[in-house]
């Protein structure tokens, strides 16, 4: 008998035998991510076409920042990400002037509208998880990557004041989501990477704020996933985070799924390169990587996915190959 999506994911997280490996892909929705109805409709249509085991809700990264005063635009990125054209922090003192956001207003309220629509569409049949960016990732988009690192090293106390404000805003957004129907959060970390900063710096400016947020997750949220972005992840710094799954660029980093399973007790997510072969390759190559990943993990504590978003121009045939391969395994 086939398991429900929730049953399949819960057994996967626990390391139990499942009827098949769970699979999910996700992407940005440029343009549509500026309106609640359009983002919800695009997300629902994508899921109804592909029937993934869960839905990762992917708003623009600015959804949690617009009300600080940042502005962005889409300029054709294949990832569907937007370019920031106005920052809210231009000098270190600006960190101390950020205010805690009200999730019942502005862009955060629009995202809650998206979740309400998804709850109506999916009910309890399809688990869906909301993207939440780490405070340090939000700070990078508020100030710009270079400015953030500069202030981290020249005005650390002012930056920490800003990080505390961002953390409080995020906690209020989490609280507002408690009746939204989500199965959990997709917690996006962008700075736990050796090419961005040192482990000592992340221990000071990243991890404490991560844990304040993750420790506040609802007890009802049974499926929370950390995403480690970048080519040199500080995997060992997050293995004790209170989440059920970790997703990273395993095909691009040299840190394998098997390596991840040795350090993390929950499920690992990845296995297919989002550029090669998912975007640039063929269905045969997609199926080959997927089967290699399943063999590497013995199909236990493993969710087949890419290490990050697929491109907006990813071929339909390659998405189909990733989705169908788990159904055709012996």
Delimit the domains of the chain by residue range: 5-325
* pLDDT at 75 exceeding the cut of 90: yes
Q: What percent of the chain has pLDDT over 70?
A: 100
CA–CA separation, 21 and 23 (whole Å): 6
pLDDT at 330: 62
What's the whole-number mean pLDDT along residues 167-182? Answer: 97
Beta bridge partners of 188: 133, 227
Mean pLDDT of the chain: 97
- 19-53 tens-digit pLDDT: 999 999 999 999 999 999 999 999 999 999 999 99
Q: What confidence score (pLDDT) does residue 95 get?
A: 98
CB 252 within 8 A of CB 278: no
H or E segment at 208?
helix 207-214
pLDDT at 231: 87
Six-digit token pair at 302? 């493993």
Whether 84 shows a pLDDT value over 80: the answer reads yes
Q: How far is CA 101 from CA 36, 106, 112, in A?
A: 19, 9, 14
Can you spell out the DSSP letters for 86-99?
E-S-SSGGGGGG--
Q: Select from 3.20.20.70, 3.20.20.210, 3.90.79.10, 3.30.1330.10 the CATH code of 5-325.
A: 3.20.20.210
Q: What distance separates the 2 farthest-apart alpha carbons in the chain?
A: 60
pLDDT digits (tens, 9 = 90+) for 234-287: 999 999 999 999 999 999 998 999 999 999 999 999 999 999 999 999 999 999
pLDDT tens column, 199-235: 999 999 999 999 999 999 999 999 999 999 998 999 9
The beta strand positions in 203-314, using DSSP E, are 225-228, 245-248, 267-272, 302-306
Query: Would you say the pTM of this structure is higher than 0.95?
Result: yes
State the pLDDT confidence band at 157, using cuts at 50, 70 and 90: very high
User: How many alpha carbons lie under 13 Å from residue 248 in its C-beta half-sphere?
Assistant: 32
- Residue 110's pLDDT band (cuts 50, 70, 90): very high
Which CA distances in Å does 116 have to 51, 110, 181? 20, 10, 8
Q: Which pLDDT belongs to residue 328? A: 84
- Model confidence at 175: pLDDT above 70: yes
């Amino acid at each position: 008998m086939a398991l429900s999506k929730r049953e399949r994911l819960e057994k996967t997280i626990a390391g139990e035998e499942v009827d098949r490996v769970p699979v999910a892909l996700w992407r940005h929705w440029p343009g549509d991510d500026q309106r609640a109805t359009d983002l919800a409709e695009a997300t629902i249509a994508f899921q109804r076409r592909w029937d993934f085991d869960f839905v990762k809700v992917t708003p623009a990264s600015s959804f949690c920042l617009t009300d600080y005063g940042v502005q962005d635009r889409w300029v054709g990125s294949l990832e569907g990400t937007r370019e920031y054209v106005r920052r809210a922090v231009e000098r270190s003192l600006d960190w101390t002037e950020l205010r805690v956001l009200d999730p019942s207003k502005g862009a955060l309220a629009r995202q809650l509208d998206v979740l309400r629509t998804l709850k109506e569409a999916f009910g309890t049949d399809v688990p869906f998880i909301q993207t939440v960016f780490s405070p340090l990732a939000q700070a990078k988009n508020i100030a710009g990557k270079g400015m953030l690192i500069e202030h981290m090293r020249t005005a650390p106390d002012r930056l920490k004041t800003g990080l505390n404000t961002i953390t409080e805003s995020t906690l209020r957004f989490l609280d507002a989501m408690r009746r939204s129907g989500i199965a959990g959060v997709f917690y996006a970390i962008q700075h736990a990477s050796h090419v961005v900063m040192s482990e000592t710096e992340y221990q000071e400016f990243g991890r404490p704020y991560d844990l304040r947020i993750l420790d506040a997750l609802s007890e009802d949220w049974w499926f929370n996933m950390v995403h480690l972005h970048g080519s040199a992840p500080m995997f060992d710094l997050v293995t004790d985070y209170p989440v059920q799954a970790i997703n990273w660029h395993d095909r691009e980093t040299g840190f394998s799924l098997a390596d991840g399973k040795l350090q993390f007790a929950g499920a690992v997510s990845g296995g297919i390169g989002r550029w090669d072969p998912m975007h640039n390759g063929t269905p045969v190559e997609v199926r080959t990587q997927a089967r290699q990943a399943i063999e590497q993990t013995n199909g236990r504590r493993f969710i087949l996915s890419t290490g990050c978003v697929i491109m907006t121009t990813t071929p339909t045939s390659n998405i189909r190959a990733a989705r169908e391969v788990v159904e055709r395994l012996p």
